[in-house]
Amino acid sequence: MGVDIASNLVEAGNARARSLGLSNCSFHEGDASDLSELEDDSFDLVVSIFGAMFAPRPFDVAKEVVRVTRPGGRIVMGNWIPNDPTLVAQILKISSSYSPPPPDGFVSPMTWGVEDNVIERFAGAGVPEEKISFERDTYTFNFPGAPSELVAAFRTYYGRDDERVRSCSSQRPRGRSAGRAGRSVQQPERKPERGCHLHSRNLPARNGRGVSSA
């Protein structure tokens, strides 16, 4: 079972499951910080890869994913790391420099990439610190086209990237750090006839309820 806040992605996931004949796979619209439609202790394994980190209330996210995980089960999150020199961290850093200031109380999703924050959030949800583990990993984006085509795909599908691109062309970034960020973005690795490849480091966090984490 999958949960996503975006109705179009839920629809696409269900369509793909049907096309593959996966009758036991379904997707539902929901909010990671309020999974009230799911019962307690429902799942042996809860996985969020670059998803729940973007929910606005991180402590509620931790409490909800713990609540729906059975005792002895496992929770796995993949979260981007702040200020990392690889692709996604730099995209988010530069985008924020051209975006309006966030509202009061805003918590950056990148804080899920800081180990102390993850421990604090899950400890607040009742998970002992010794049950939480971390391992830095690298996600490689393999794109079949040229780097310019990858940029076009981001502009089309990556949130409001097209508006940000236009904004970048017409205004200076907020603060002095944006210029440094712009110069440090990783350049795509281009291989003949194989498209382009970009690497982004992330922080997989694992914790168990009643069992040692992997």
CA–CA separation, 135 vs 203, rounded Å?
6
Q: Which domains does the chain have, with CATH numbers?
A: 31-208 (3.40.50)
10 close to 27: Cβ distance less than 8 angstroms:
yes
Q: DSSP assignment, residue 102?
A: P
Grouped pLDDT means (10 residues each) for the chain, 214 residues:
93 96 96 96 95 94 97 93 86 82 90 96 95 89 85 71 48 44 42 56 66 33
CA–CA separation, 111 vs 181, rounded Å?
18
Q: What is the pLDDT of residue 211?
A: 34
Residue among 212, 165, 187 nearest 85 (CA): 187
pTM, rounded to two decimals: 0.76
Helix segments in the chain, DSSP class H: 7-19, 58-67, 87-97, 115-124, 147-157, 161-170, 177-184
43 close to 73: Cβ distance less than 8 angstroms:
yes
62 close to 131: Cβ distance less than 8 angstroms:
no
CB neighbours of residue 85 within 10 Å: 14
- In the block, which residue shows the tokens 């508006």? 163
CA–CA separation, 47 vs 49, rounded Å?
7
